Amino acid sequence: MIPVRGHEGQKLAVLGLGRSGLATARSLVAGGAEPVCWDDNASARDKAEAEGFTIRDLTRPGAFDDIASLIVSPGIPHLYPEPNRVIRAAYEAGVPVDNDIGLFFRSLAVAEWDDFDTAPRVVAVTGSNGKSTTSALIHHILEQAGREAQLAGNIGRGVLDIDPPGDGGVVVLELSSYQTDLARALTPDVAVFTNLSPDHLDRHAGMGGYFAAKRRLFAEGGPDRAVIGVDEVEGLYLANQLSEGPGDDRVIRVSAARKLSGPGWDVFARKGFLAEWRKGKQVAAIDLRPMQGLPGAHNHQNACAAYAACRTLGLAPRVIETGLASYPGLPHRSQTIAEAHGVRYVNDSKATNVDSAAKALAAFDKIRWICGGLEKEGGLDGLRASLGSVVKAYVIGREAAGFALQLPEVETEVCTTMESAVASAMRDAQPGEVVLLAPAAASFDQYDNFEKRGEDFAARVRAGLQG
């Protein structure tokens, strides 16, 4: 673990006792601080108490009288739609509020690094869609190249739960807007912005607040290198803000929508080919089309971002190409479950919003589309341009009928349950078609999370093929 530094002998409150909260409490103890813990869930409190941590009801008056700082888990609102009552009490008591990401960046570097030949580096990835795949892809490429690498943050292990990196080690962090919004320290060596589309708008009071939370990763600490997806205006703006001029190669612009040109450092994908250009000259090209773990333009954007980040870490293009080719894909993200009788079955349960579902639909032809769930704000209008490849939609969720009514352009079948949707899609599918789960909705009306939904889809497919 990473011992938390700078709080020796102090009491710090920890709010939220899930994975990150417990890891934070352990790291505080390892660094000589005393955590006092609280969670509204009694079973979470019992688990922390069984581990030896002090439990204190932080909702009571005077709870912060001897507290130096409050460390908050990422799922707890700290501003919009309104602050959690414990966080508000900390504000009113003048107690600084932080999260495990802020503690991580302040605690990572140690004196032993002076004896390393190469100091460890941190690559932090944020954005609306693709940040998990991009993070995992960077980590995979580094490991395939024989580099020490750890994956943490919003994916993999909690940031304080990882091992201290060794000589030349790389820590790859996936960071959500919840994590970047509150962290009091954000100092990655390389920062990556994939893209921006509407999501979590209630938590950030609109798109402006959402983008501002992402932008903090680049504005607070000033990374040595910034990899910026410029296919949306927010990315263009961010790249412009960070660059000192057209030839400033501290900023690497990335696109999966068009060829980029100019005297700077660009990585883009067109018609399935990744190209790296620097100072007006092409440096490398990679054919992404045969790479089954990276289907579609959205994954080609992820590949470009991962490629650019790995280039900043000194990897050669052919070494990166080998890593890209061997990447197996992440569960629930354009994950091929099976291929049988000429039909491919793809699990993209992580496509929980309209933009990510549209990108999944654009990756395949002749789609039997399983969709539906807890609809997000804004409706399905953003999917209209992506429905041309859909042969038929099979709609799940408690409000399946209402969801189906918003898809007049395609044939729909109201299935409600995953079991029914998979059975109908498998019955109808013809050779050359893809049965795709890309819900364009949250899972909470029927499942605990998108992972459970994807697992159910995969289990139904496998059962159907065996039967």
Q: Detail the residues annotated as belonging to a binding site for ATP.
A: 127-133
The single-letter code of the amino acid at 61 is P
| Distance in angstroms between the alpha carbons of the first and the last residue of the chain | 46
The residues facing 367 across adjacent strands are 390, 434
Which element (helix H / strand E) includes 97?
strand 97-98
Q: How far apart are CA 392 and CA 429, in angstroms?
A: 10
Burial of 198 (0-12, 13-18, 19+ CB in 10 A): middle
Residue positions in the annotated binding site? 127-133
Q: How far apart are CA 48 and CA 403, in angstroms?
A: 41
Phi, psi at 55, each rounded to 5° = -105, 130
Cβ burial 127-161 (10 Å sphere, 16+ → b, else e) = bbbbbbbbbbbbbbbbebbebebbbbbbbbbbbbb
Instruction: Name 426's Cβ contacts closer than 8 Å, sequence gap at least 6.
Output: 343, 435, 461, 464, 465
Phi, psi at 335, each rounded to 5° = -90, 120
Number of Cβ within 10 Å of residue 384's Cβ equals 14
Residue among 97, 61, 75, 62 at smallest CA distance from 19: 75
Number of Cβ within 10 Å of residue 218's Cβ equals 24
Q: Say whether the peptide bond before residue 35 is cis (omega within 30 degrees of 0).
A: no
Residues of the chain by 3-state class (helix, strand, coil), percent to 5: 35, 20, 40
Q: How far apart are CA 325 and CA 337, in angstroms?
A: 18
